[in-house]
Chains A and B, each alone.
Chain A
């Protein structure tokens, strides 16, 4: 009996340790640090011999200096403000179109072929022809961002609206809820998990398109900053800009995920709790 207990505890200790190592996030963070270390070493030790390959530490010092002297802040704000406007327009149109297409068959038949045809167009490919139509101003950039945002939002909204439990519609009808109120209080919340998935997908796409549009058109924003630094051979500033863009995209995505988890907490919990019961 004593023997058994001793055996079990002896075995459980190392197993517990290896379990923790495998499951912790430390390994993922460690890889990032190793890669940054390789970057630093490759530049410092001259493994990569190029004046355009500054060490990571120099890049970060330059980045913080650019932020501190107020050079980068207006650039970043300009990009974020552009992203916000283009994204908002694309989301509003996407949700609106998604509802109309998802709810009404004639609209679906009329619009879906056009959407299927426009959807696969790569955004950078339409920017040159759009320059003829819209000039080099903000209109073009906002259009490109909204255009890219529209499709994932619209398609997810359509799927969400069509996936609404038929009984929900009947519940609204049996209590005489007017159509508009039923859309707002039943169809919209029921479709929200799908809609939010579309909004999150298109947020990433919209950010990419914002930076690309700034590289091609105009003289503002982080995209323009990156191109300028490249032309000026200021590699440290350029890499600093890329790191900053990466951090912003990462934070936008994490922020969105946190907000999404709260907004549709009911959907996740309802599924697990009803599932347990069944």
Chain B
């Protein structure tokens, strides 16, 4: 009970500081399938994300998680419903949201140095002098522990370092909302734990709203305030669980805590047996 209160007050404290509420209001998305029939990727999804909250969305692979995140990011228009950031409808790419892509090897531009990749994120929206841009770039690279690789090309770095550069670039744009599309899935297991701690540190420092899409239940519980569970395609939200784990979270202890394990049990049981509609899909 006291933990829950702590978590709530932490969220409330954060809410007082940062920007606008993200509202996903009855989003649906259909694609033109082969033969002209419409394929429904997202059923109807509604979400309400408080400013400064960390929300994780988990679901089976191929359930339309990435599609949902792209619609929220304004990279794709929904077929029905709307996304709102504060009082404004999201119809294109809004200035205060940044999408962090799954594949660092494709999202970092290989013909630019690390520094130019980071500056690419903000030099078109913020009119800064070259010196100010470089200083800003150095600050954000230092934040992810990579101050010394500014002059390198991304492909000269390891996978984990490349994803750190991608994180620095995303945050250098100073987003109110950071949308993360399985950003830790293509690095090795130890690097992943490292990046989890890094993203939590940066989230605590910068107080942005975080929405993470993942198929990794442990990752979702460790990072998030709330975990939304998606069903099989067409995706709908079947359950939203508050993690209520104390912060700051610790790489090892938090993952071994009874509360963590209980949540893990509950979510895995949900995904594997009731399967977010999997058995329903099979019987149909």
Q: Which residues of A are interface residues toward B (Cβ below 8 A)?
A: 165, 167-168, 170-171, 173-178, 181, 185-186, 189-190, 192, 264, 266-267, 269-270, 273-274, 277
Contact = CB atoms under 8 A, between A and B. Distances in A.
20 contacts: A165-B106, A167-B101, A167-B103, A167-B106, A167-B107, A168-B109, A170-B101, A174-B98, A175-B124, A177-B120, A177-B124, A189-B109, A190-B111, A192-B111, A266-B110, A266-B153, A267-B111, A270-B153, A270-B155, A273-B156
Contacts of A168: 106, 109
In this complex, the member of A174, A177, A192, A266 whose beta carbon has the largest number of chain B beta carbons within 10 angstroms is A174
Interface in B115-159: 120-122, 124-125, 153-156, 158-159
Contacts of A176: 93, 95, 124-125
A178 B123 CA distance: 11
B99 interface: yes
Given A181-B124, A270-B153, A274-B155, A174 B99 contact: yes
Nearest to B98: A174
Given A174-B75, A277-B159, 5 more contacts: A170-B101, A176-B125, A266-B111, A269-B153, A269-B155
B173 interface: yes
Interface in B20-75: 73, 75
B197 interface: no
B155 A273 contact: yes
A174 B93 contact: yes
Contacts of B18: none
Contacts of A177: 120, 124
Nearest to A178: B124
B262 to A, nearest CB: 36
Q: Which 6 A-B pairs have the closest CB atoms?
A: A270-B110, A270-B155, A174-B99, A167-B106, A189-B111, A273-B155
Contacts of A192: 111
Given A176-B93, A176-B95, A171 B173 contact: no
B254 interface: no
Contacts of B73: 174
B208 to A, nearest CB: 14
Contacts of A174: 73, 75, 93, 97-99
B54 to A, nearest CB: 20
A173 B111 contact: no
A186 B173 CA distance: 18
Contacts of A190: 109, 111
Contacts of B105: 274
Contacts of A167: 101, 103, 106-107
Contact of B99 (A170, A181, A189, A267): A170
B206 to A, nearest CB: 17
Contact of A175 (B103, B122, B153, B158): B122
B103 A267 contact: no
Contacts of A274: 105, 155
Nearest to A175: B121
A189 B122 CA distance: 19
B235 to A, nearest CB: 20
Contacts of B158: 277
Given A178-B124, A270-B155, A274-B155, A171 B109 contact: yes
Contacts of A181: 124
Nearest to A185: B120
A170 B92 CA distance: 12
Nearest to B103: A167
Given A165-B106, A266-B111, A267-B111, A173 B101 contact: no
